[in-house]
Amino acid sequence: MTAMKDHQAALIHTMVLVSAADREMTDAEMLAIGDMVKHLPVFEGCTSENLIAAAEDCAALLNAAEGFDHVIDKIRAALPQKLSETAYALACEIAAADGRASQEELKLLAVLRVRLAVGRLPAAAIERGAAARHMTL
């Protein structure tokens, strides 16, 4: 099994965190996570086993006391600053994946934007792009 890089685990944790925010991890969200890990260059070398291990690690951390804050702290510590917008973009993709963003997901996105130091204008552009990609008639 290929060793997963810290930034890859952090990005997977970000996506799982958003998916779990409303306590309902939909099939669309899970498929979106798998597709992004499979196709995005930032996940080069990341295997399905790595994805499963990182998702399980995130779930375990979330079940612990102070899990939410601890997961965000781990994400921040493992991500180079240049990947903050990438993490936010992946979070927005997961929030939009099932065609609706719940209030819990929207609140989490606001927290992530601040904690990852993503500016308001870049965040708005990222959010609009995710919404446009998931738009239906």
pLDDT of residue 1: 38
How much of the chain exceeds pLDDT 90, in percent? Answer: 69
Q: pTM of the prediction?
A: 0.92
What pLDDT was estimated at residue 126?
A: 97
Q: Cα 110 vs. chain centroid, distance in angstroms?
A: 13
Does residue 88 surpass a pLDDT of 90? yes
The phi-psi region of residue 112 (left if phi > 0; otherwise alpha if psi is between -120 and 50; otherwise beta) is alpha
* Per-residue exposure over 105-116, b if at least 16 CB sit within 10 Å of its own CB, e if not: beebbeebbeeb
Residue 93 — very low, low, confident or very high, per pLDDT cuts 50/70/90? very high
What per-residue confidence (pLDDT) applies to 10? 95
CATH fold of 6-133: TerB-like (1.10.3680)
Q: Is residue 5 pLDDT above 80, yes or no?
A: no
Domain ranges of the chain: 6-133
Residue 96: is its pLDDT beyond 80?
yes
